[in-house]
Chain A
């Protein structure tokens, strides 16, 4: 992208923001340019010196040239020659001396001849670009301009490759002054075309462009493709995302010519049908002439305007409108509603000419609300107590009891963990364990249990580390809460060129879905196709997370945890960080020592074998001693490694984030490619949500502000999205059935006024989640029976109106937890950490990735969850996807589930325990059958059910013979676990 285009867009952005652009500065003055490994030549009409012989200039690095590589984008002949000859090396330094004092600017040409490398660039010793990727073969970039003040007349430009990275530096331009550095002119365009040239253009070129290109590449296009317009001379010269369309005089170097030739499948235009040969020849001739073009008009401004979003119109979408405070509507049957919710629901039922179902019977209601709030069945004693309680607030007492139970947080915390794609491993190719992350899981569960207000819940997860706290414990809890961000997915196996942009994408993607119900990350590569989210909005958020330090969980080639946060008093953090690093370095050293010694032993063994084979006689004694010494040293080293590895740090650490070293605004990445930076965008909230921005030059990441922008009264999404999630888990479906997508691709709310009423109550009521539960479960709507008559089914097939309670299947966790509870072996002691092997033993690679299943009798929320390997049970029963947000659990019905219930050892073991319990707790068949029904279904058996069970037991006993009594009951228990009633919330 040319500098003028960048400035143009920056100007445009300023104009948008309502600010006046600063007066244009005097353009910078050309001082000199150096072809670092090549002859003197003329580029952009300026004289370049030969690097090898130029005075006042020195370059380190090796000479390299390969003029055969096709450059991308193509460029003019002289520039291409300069680019394809370069100085390269892991460390290269260029020094220009004899410069006058005062501000200067530096422009650097770099290129890549084969495979992408990565390096840092420094001007006068200061990093100006970190971890620059050189791109695919043929890529080149004109980097800068960077400001620099000569020191004693000298400016240095240096490149430092990361571990294996080597850079290819091709050319250097030095400019004086602060003003804009002109863009390269890419050869010589004909500035004043002759009459003859104009005639050629009008006869041959203009019709061709108009007929075959304007549809996608002009101001009149419905949507301009690739940022390229061809209906003005400026547009042709400036080019699109992939660079200038034409290198004047050089058809071979012109993208436009390459495209119409269909030279590469990646760039073939027009895409469907290749132009006839004579048309291609005309374009080539035109380029050779220097692309004479009489057309006037702007390029980029036109192009930009075309794709601009109409913000006022965009904000009319239902979910972006301010939350209304609707009054509950009047209803005909005024006695029916128990609270306001019911008036919203009944109004729609009445309008549809339907009648609500009858109230659920108390047993059904108790089983429903107990599973709903705690994920476990009511005990027969709880059922009996509820039935015996005839006071008007009997149900309220049950709700209070359930909400006060620690089992509540385990149930509802899991719902949140689904949304934030919680996993105990990192998701890189070797799927490294993160033993510390359970603290975040426990924090979520505890946050629900103590009814942490949702606004605090948001602040802690996004910026808890920046919030401090009344006590040290609170400070640490808040640090742990940022495990939400740390838990973003890791990718691949690379270390130096780790694709951090993908981890940030995963962060933004999840943040958008979880807190805003928006698919923001669709705007990574291009403006969102459906919702008013621009690529600029995406990179405005990107800057916040680019300025955030993520912990490093370890990866195949860099196994050690890095940047975990020590949970120590603030004054001791620095010291603790040193301790972590020292221990890590020492372990790395010992690992290497052990590996080296083992290799040496192997070598000796090999030599010995070779010696035997060639029968060269007895080995010299010295060798034997050598072996013994090495063995002894190995033993010592292994011991030291083991001892250090098993000695934990004297403090705990959290998988949490911190502020990055230099938080700053970042450029848009064109088409999502980090190697193609565009304009720099200030860190801010998406424009459609108000666009609140960080103050210019903010030195913090902006996470604290982001939390406030999300929670601000002007943002209607935070309250709507969370209120909808709470409703969703009570009724199995949200008022908005797509809880992670409130945009155009989602579904609109079935009861928009009710959603806004709930959101208002939620926000104005101090963001209390438990208060919202109470409101919902005390509605009559929640307490309806699930049975529906034929009329209701015909007229409201999806039960959208909620004229009856929507029956649903239990989630994987509830089914397993209920089987454990019924077996009497559910372990309710605090779960804590998973039994991962000690970190110093981790040798996971993509060939042998970490893979484990830790069996336990704890609740399923505590099962170790891997990003890549799914827990076998959870995979069968639609458990959450641990690599991406799961807003709604599907409830699939598969034969594999049935096979599990038929034959899995867990089911058989639990059924065995349940059978023992039945035999021990009740005397005789009838009592045991009754007890079983109370335990599983919170109701007594009907006579025909008892009869069927008795008949079954009789047949089983007959079949099994004398010793079959226990097995008959086990078989009965297995039957019960397979019943629809067991896995259904009715």
Chain B
């Protein structure tokens, strides 16, 4: 899949030159192709041939119930108000089993059953590899969310997106390598897209949607051409300064960041502007024309970022305050499911018809599942012992189900996929060996998977 060329850099620049407001200095500088070798985000070779070139990582915050979505359990539907199982807020009590609230029906030709919470997504199951045997280490939102993003359930560590950026670089120097479409903050806040000890250019750039989707993207100088003039003078003075310090690559690199930033103001804006998308495409995502927020917007922008070579796009669904955490009444799952069902299905279909699903890995996950036993009167508690997630696209067997839980979805009984295994598998699909993707910090080689993780070969094509 090749990114469509929107404008050449030169075209953009020449259009800006307009009435020759740009000084000769900036024009020549901006038009000069800098050596890619000095670019810390230049594409890097993989450890072995990759199936996926990029990742769209969808994170549903709060703990999505497995038995109400992707893991049907007749024993739970048969719950008679007497049978008990693990329940309570933190999976710490024996409680009466709670009946799932939604019917399951087979989806696609493969027949993978999905509940009525996801009618649109259900139609895409032929492209989806469902994992029913996910397992984490912690029953607290914060720690489980941190673990799902960094492989560490307590300490701050680099996010998976930062690791991927570090391992692979980016294919579009005018855009960041790692973008987090996070209108709201999930649990554990910034840490989930933080570079931590990896160099700062691997930090996820947060996009919030709306008028200024990235901080400081909006030109503060409103007078036409003034910023170009300013950049022109800065360029002259910086180059003069550099000439007396020949060979200082740090200074040269810093001059270049102003060029990238200058482009970001237009190019990033162009990415977030959905005007040129057809009505049909907008409808696919459930979007209204002119809409610049909502999960459909996040999904369509994710596709546009992926098209333009951004390596890792994270979509945060929900916030730490409002999310899938239904302790009191599972019925609220319907609100959250409705919010993401059509957009995600739209994203999968759109990627597929554009041929992008062949080399884009789409991941959907949550921080943990929920208890079979009741919490409150009609809710379910946190449950990290088992939950469901899925992968779709590049290198993943489509239309299959991997792993199984016991009769009430309280524990994994077959083919456990720990969070570390999940991470190892995602890296593997990107051509990265999770044991070789290391960074020396504080006297130790760190990995996303700490000292754990096994690639789940069963689900690879």
Contact = CB atoms under 8 A, between A and B. Distances in A.
Given A429-B142, A851-B189, A971-B230, A114 B86 contact: yes
B443 A522 contact: yes
Given A530-B443, A893-B257, A868 B91 contact: no
B260 interface: yes
Which interface residue of B219, B242, B255 has the most chain A CB atoms within 10 A? Answer: B255
A456 interface: no
Interface string A118-142: 0000000000000000000000000
Contacts of B78: none
Nearest to A968: B226
Interface stretch (B47-55, B199-207, B354-362): B199-207
A948 B233 contact: yes
A870 B190 contact: yes
A902 B261 contact: yes
Contacts of A956: 226, 229
Nearest to A117: B92
B32 interface: no
Contact of B92 (A115, A944, A980): A115
A222 interface: no
Interface stretch (A298-306, A468-476, A736-744): A736-744
A502 B154 contact: yes
Interface in A846-889: 846-849, 851, 868-870, 872, 875-876, 878, 881, 883-885
Contact of A895 (B176, B188, B221, B237): B176
Report the interface size class on chain A: 35 or more
B237 A899 contact: no
B237 A519 contact: no
A975 B230 contact: yes
B442 A846 contact: no
Given A493-B140, A903-B216, A952 B229 contact: yes
Given A492-B142, A949-B233, A894 B241 contact: no
B44 to A, nearest CB: 17
Contacts of A394: none
A226 B23 CA distance: 69
Given A902-B258, A978-B258, A984-B251, A513 B442 contact: yes
A608 B254 CA distance: 67
A890 interface: yes
Interface string B89-119: 0011010000000000000000000000000
A904 interface: yes
Contacts of A786: 245
B276 interface: no
Interface of B: 21, 23, 86, 91-92, 94, 140-143, 154-156, 176, 187-191, 194, 196-197, 199-201, 203, 205, 214-221, 223-227, 229-230, 232-234, 236-238, 240-242, 244-245, 247-248, 250-251, 253-255, 257-258, 260-262, 264-265, 320-321, 325, 416, 440, 442-444
Contacts of A743: 443
The majority secondary structure among interface residues of chain A is loop
Contacts of B187: 429, 846-847
Which interface residue of A786, A790, A971 has the most chain B CB atoms within 10 A? Answer: A971
B248 A893 contact: no
Given A898-B258, A959-B225, A903 B142 contact: no
30 contacts: A429-B140, A429-B142, A429-B187, A493-B142, A746-B443, A786-B245, A790-B247, A793-B247, A809-B250, A846-B140, A869-B189, A875-B203, A894-B203, A895-B261, A896-B203, A898-B257, A898-B258, A898-B260, A899-B217, A900-B215, A902-B227, A902-B262, A903-B216, A903-B218, A952-B232, A971-B221, A974-B221, A979-B238, A980-B251, A980-B254
Given A114-B94, A848-B321, 12 more contacts: A492-B154, A745-B443, A788-B247, A868-B189, A869-B189, A895-B260, A902-B219, A903-B265, A948-B236, A948-B237, A960-B223, A981-B237
A905 B220 contact: yes
Given A849-B320, A892-B199, A896-B205, A869 B190 contact: yes
A214 interface: no
B320 A878 contact: no
A959 B226 contact: yes
A971 B189 CA distance: 36
B199 A890 contact: yes
A494 B142 CA distance: 12
Contacts of A809: 250, 254
Contacts of B191: 868
A807 interface: yes
A895 B234 contact: no
A373 to B, nearest CB: 23
Nearest to B421: A265
What 5 A-B pairs are tightest by C-beta distance, nearest first? Answer: A898-B261, A745-B443, A892-B200, A429-B142, A895-B260
Contacts of A972: 233
A894 B201 contact: yes
B254 A893 contact: yes
A475 to B, nearest CB: 35
A491 interface: yes
Contacts of A493: 140, 142
Given A893-B250, A900-B216, A959 B229 contact: yes
B219 A903 contact: yes
B333 to A, nearest CB: 17
Contacts of A945: 237, 240
Contacts of A984: 251
A967 interface: yes
A905 B219 CA distance: 10
Nearest to B261: A898
A872 B21 contact: no
A828 B321 CA distance: 39
A406 interface: no
A978 B26 CA distance: 14
Contact of A745 (B142, B176, B257, B440): B440
Given A746-B443, A898-B258, A975-B230, A980 B216 contact: no
B105 to A, nearest CB: 33
Nearest to B249: A893
A174 B237 CA distance: 86
Contacts of B229: 952, 955-956, 959, 971
A790 B214 CA distance: 42
A959 B223 contact: yes
Interface in A910-946: 944-945
Interface string A769-789: 000000000000000001110
Nearest to A530: B443
Contact of A902 (B94, B199, B220, B240): B220
A952 B258 contact: no
Contacts of B155: 883-884
Contacts of B188: 429, 868
Which interface residue of A740, A878, A885, A897 has the most chain B CB atoms within 10 A? Answer: A897
